[in-house]
Amino acid sequence: VQRCGRGLVWDRSKATLPDARERTLIAVKPDGVQRRLVGRIIQRFEQRGFKLVGLKMMTASEDLLSEHYRELRTKPFFHSLQSYMTSGPVVVMVWEGHNVVQTSRTMVGPTNPTVAQAGTVRGDFSIHVSRNVVHASDSLEGAQREIQLWFEAKDLLDWDCCDQMSTSE
Ligand code: ADP
């Protein structure tokens, strides 16, 4: 049990599920930023119950994109993907929570928007595979690799939620 100030107490023994610290990388791509979808995408992850632990806006370099999409380097669309992804700012985030990698992929929807269900980000906001609004890591290993690529460890914040605190005295 640890004091958190103002009489609040955080009881770590009651803390959450074993994999509640799982993390994934979500990025609003340049088309999503340009279409003012950032707030709505963040809202979906907040309302689902995930915790935002890192956030920044930046224009990615070609080198960063080349590393991020290294498995796609031989694809015919790679160069257009790279120039699309470097064409304007992206909003890159790290979200934390139980099964966040897999659940985020479900929330984002499949790569091809023609088969993305309404209710998913791509199913609601996208009609073309090359302008599909958002990125979500596709595996635990991929998430770890991408988080290290886009963020420095010091820019990821650990914080406790007031929902899990009780007032003392
Ligand atoms: P996802 O983003 O769903 O994980 P991939 O890793 O297969 O999908 O592809 C990465 C990104 O490359 C896609 O989100 C999309 O922006 C782009 N992309 C994938 N396939 C195509 C394609 N056939 N034509 C153009 N762009 C594509």
State whether the beta carbon of 130 lies less than 6 angstroms from ligand 1: yes
Q: What is the pLDDT of residues 100-128, one digit of tens each?
A: 999 999 999 999 989 999 999 999 999 99
* Length reported for the chain: 169
Site to substitute for ligand 1 among 28, 130, 137, 146, most atoms within 8 A of C-beta: 130
Residue 33 — very low, low, confident or very high, per pLDDT cuts 50/70/90? very high
Percent of the chain residues past pLDDT 70, beyond the cut: 88
**Which residue CA neighbors atom 16 of ligand 1 most closely?**
130
Asked if the ipTM is above 0.90, the reply is yes
The DSSP element (H or E) to which 31 belongs, if any, is: helix 30-34
On whether the CB atoms of residues 27 and 92 are closer than 8 A, the answer is yes
pLDDT: which is higher, 15 or 35: 35
Predicted pLDDT of residue 164: 72
Is 135 one of the annotated active-site residues of the chain? Answer: yes
